[in-house]
Amino acid sequence: ARAENGHDLWLRYRPAAAGEAAAYRASVGVVAPVADTPTLKVARAELEQGLAGLLGERRDGGGQILLGTPGSSPRIAALKLPLDAAGDEGFRIRTLTDGGRPLTVIAANTDIGVLHGVYRYLALIQTRQAIDRLDLLDAPKVRYRLLNHWDNLDRSVERGYSGQSIWDWWRLPDVKDPRYLDYARANASIGINGAVLNNVNAKSDSLTAPYIAKAAALAGTFRPYGIKVYLSARFSSPIEIGGLKTADPLDPAVRAFWKAKADEIYKAIPDFGGFLVKANSEGQPGPQDYGRTHADGANMLAQAVGPHGGIVMWRAFVYSHEQPDDRAKQGYSEFKPFDGQFAENVIVQVKNGAIDFQPREPFHPLFGAMPKTNLGMEFQITKEYLGFSTHLAYLGTMWEEVLKADTFAAGQGSTVAKVVDGKLHGYSRTLMAGVANIGTDRNWSGSQFDQANWYAFGRLAWDPEASSEAIARDWAAMTFTPDRRFTGPAVKMMMGSREAVVDYMTPMGLHHLMGRSHHYGPGPWVAGGERADWTSVYYHKADKAGIGFDRTASGSNAVAQYAPPVAAAFSDLSKIDEKDLLWFHHLPWDYRTRSGRPLWDELVNRYSRGVKAVDGMQATWADLSPYVDAERHGEVATYLAIQRREAQWWRDASIAYFQSINGLPLPKGEAPPP
């Protein structure tokens, strides 16, 4: 028996029950030969492997599966299937009959579209959908669907909780770890089409010839799967590896350096994707060091890669301690004035919220505010602020909440999803980036359930309006078992899991109360230090009278960065959703919440509710043991036990700390911290 350690991810292809397999075999046939291209060969091999695993080697019902493009397959060309809407990466799956025998056609305009179609077809069987009468067309709504690896050249991973970097830089380019292929398969199966290989806190070494050769080796491995490589670029590289005295983006020698560097990279990697840049943020170098702007910096790089078809992703995650203004306002303040000044092949990459990947943040005010600048979404798959890989938190719900949020930029219905997929402002290039949670752990992501976040990210990048619940259901079925007695409770557990974390860590709009720098465990008492916005007291502002960050007109007025209807709703205590209450308001401890309880009681109630939710998750998981192999079941159970203990720690520590400030007793029925 194969080890069930999670290495196969959602591509397990374990046998369907005999009756189900027999039914599928009636419509599935043998896979017809394909044109001799790298991607079609991979597509056919994956289909063979998947069908053999799911349905067995013998599929002699007389049917056939035909894969290809009209360009490479005369049979497909003759069918004249409408494929316009499939674009460059989408596909059409159509069941027909041929001489009375079932024929399934997986067709696309490009080979990579065919590969995506193959994964979809397999997923239909993996999730036990009907496949005998299909006419399904699908295509991605976002053009660049990228993982951002925060992987360092020494194989450590910033905010990585699943072992070391899977990029074995030392042995590359000669040794190509077979994991790279599995990585490419997994990503292609969910439509991810690019990977930024190195950390945004970048080292210039990554742009030197030896590392370009290593990146080229990875690019070669990924190419048949439709995945391009990108690199994070350190803005001061012209000084560090170019022998120049400056990195001023308007200096001709600096511009020549970047142009030559781009030419050098494209010589080794003709389909190189482009650069990702973190500039003038958290101590990273950038154009402002020379009195230049973000647009100056981004456009210079864009000009270097533009002729080769490359892009520049310029991050809007900027804040500086010389700037005393509310940190939540700084990204907007720095970027909004430059709307319309970025080159066409620049995408400004914006985190989902204005602070930093908190368990809950209102959507970033830049979404909807830059109609003339390509804006992309940056989500964090790795759970820096949600208990690393040891706490179970399905992030699909969080991302869906952000994507469904209404910016009102062009009236009601101007959701963040419509900003990101380009519908609202007609962006020429659309992007969704996810900070990867992948490492050398056998299960890739540090825990079984963190694989779901990788999976959900890919699915939402493909379709930002997809349902996080449907995605969770597919994932659970493919990763564990399609048995509804399993998927029903497991999906329910996943759907509530992130809210549980919000409750026991930072309920009601509280944020950034994690322990200093590592961000694991409670630290609402963290004060002092070199900068205010790296402390917790900066964010909760608790005092004897009340708690919360006033971001209304009477406070930092961050609300004014949102469209007027949004600002009005956030400002108005009778309208604001209580999930965001203390993000925007400083309120007395006895403020009456919607439950009727005073604020203090309501907070304590939510902390306790979070802990109880983890009790519920443990109970659910225990009940599911009949459906899960012992190794994975045991691992999840052990992690849940850690989470239960630490949820209690969060609750107790937070409550005890706030009591030390407000001097209030615990509400009736609440257990005191030990």
Q: What string of DSSP letters covers 559-619?
A: GGGS-HHHHHHHH-TTTS-GGGHHHH--EETT-B-TTSSBHHHHHHHHHHHHHHHHHHHHH
CB 458 within 8 A of CB 185: no
Q: Which C-beta is closer to ligand GCW: that of 201 or that of 246? A: 201
Residues touching ligand GCW, count (CB under 6 A): 11
When asked if residue 278 is in the footprint of ligand GCW (CB under 6 A), the reply is: yes
Q: Which C-beta is closer to ligand GCW: that of 46 or that of 356? A: 356
When asked if residue 379 is in the footprint of ligand GCW (CB under 6 A), the reply is: no
Minimal distance in Å, beta carbon 134 to ligand GCW?
Answer: 42
What one-character DSSP code corresponds to residue 12?
Answer: -
Q: Which C-beta is closer to ligand GCW: that of 126 or that of 280? A: 280
Catalytic-labelled residue, pool 132, 263, 282, 572:
282
Q: Tell me which residue has its CB nearest to ligand GCW.
A: 356
Respond yes or no: is residue 670 known to be catalytic.
Answer: no
What one-character DSSP code corresponds to residue 281?
Answer: S
Tokens of 411: 């009236």
Q: Tell me which amino acid residue 8 is.
A: D
Binding to ligand GCW, residues 348-377 (CB under 6 A): 356-357
Respond yes or no: is residue 543 known to be catalytic.
Answer: no
Looking up tokens 């557990």 gives 493
Minimal distance in Å, beta carbon 262 to ligand GCW?
Answer: 23
Looking up tokens 């409770």 gives 489
Closest C-alpha among 372, 435, 515, 380 to residue 150: 435
Instruction: Find residue 194's DSSP bridge partners.
Output: 146, 228
**Separation CA 319–CA 313 (nearest Å):** 18
When asked if residue 384 is in the footprint of ligand GCW (CB under 6 A), the reply is: yes
When asked if residue 294 is in the footprint of ligand GCW (CB under 6 A), the reply is: no
**Separation CA 169–CA 639 (nearest Å):** 31
Minimal distance in Å, beta carbon 210 to ligand GCW?
Answer: 24
When asked if residue 200 is in the footprint of ligand GCW (CB under 6 A), the reply is: yes
Sign for the pseudo-dihedral over CA of 85, 86, 88, 89: positive
Looking up tokens 């309006």 gives 465
Catalytic-labelled residue, pool 356, 401, 499, 580:
356
When asked if residue 208 is in the footprint of ligand GCW (CB under 6 A), the reply is: no
Q: How many CB atoms lie within 10 A of CB 32?
A: 16
Q: Binding ligand GCW by CB under 6 A: which of 5, 201, 246, 659?
A: 201
Closest C-alpha among 441, 413, 330, 422 to residue 373: 422
Respond yes or no: is residue 296 known to be catalytic.
Answer: no
Catalytic-labelled residue, pool 384, 406, 533, 646:
384
Q: Which C-beta is closer to ligand GCW: that of 105 or that of 318? A: 318
**Separation CA 254–CA 236 (nearest Å):** 10
When asked if residue 512 is in the footprint of ligand GCW (CB under 6 A), the reply is: no
When asked if residue 13 is in the footprint of ligand GCW (CB under 6 A), the reply is: no
Q: Binding ligand GCW by CB under 6 A: which of 158, 483, 590, 670?
A: 158
Q: Give catalytic residue positions.
A: 282, 356, 384
Binding site for ligand GCW (CB under 6 A): 150, 158-159, 200-201, 278, 282, 317, 356-357, 384
